[in-house]
Amino acid sequence: MPQEASYDPNKVLDAIIEKLNLKNDAALSRALEVAPPVISKIRHRTLPIGATILLRMHEISEFSIRELKGLMGVSINPVNLAPG
């Protein structure tokens, strides 16, 4: 579970709801093809946003992974590909 002070899964969930013009978390859970309690657990920070749901969020919203992580408040460290 991300422990960063700025981590806020509600921002990304709300942004997807707004972008897709969904009414509520139940509609979001249907769009993401997850059970409604999954959204509730993410909102209450008892379940982290894992890779699978992050990819699904990307697929349905067309937000980039970088944008989604930014909305969550997760820092993004670029990979250093230069030879060492």
Residue 1 has pLDDT above 90, yes or no: no
Range of 64's domain? 9-72
DSSP secondary structure string for all residues of the chain: ----TT--HHHHHHHHHHHTT--SHHHHHHHHTS-HHHHHHHHTTSS---HHHHHHHHHHH---HHHHHHHHT---PPP--S--
Residue 4 lies in a domain: no
Q: What pLDDT does residue 74 have? A: 82
pLDDT digits (tens, 9 = 90+) for 40-69: 999 999 999 999 999 999 999 999 999 999
Residue 81 lies in a domain: no
Read off the CATH number of the domain in which 30 is found. Answer: 1.10.260
**pTM score, whole prediction:** 0.83
Residue 63 lies in a domain: yes
Confidence of residue 16 (pLDDT cuts 50, 70, 90): very high
Domain count, the chain: 1
Q: Distances from the Cα of 22 to the Cαs of 4, 35, 70, 80, in angstroms? A: 28, 16, 21, 38
Residue 61 lies in a domain: yes
Residue 16 lies in a domain: yes
How many CB atoms neighbour CB 48 within 10 A?
15
Query: Regarding predicted confidence, which is higher, 20 or 84?
Result: 20
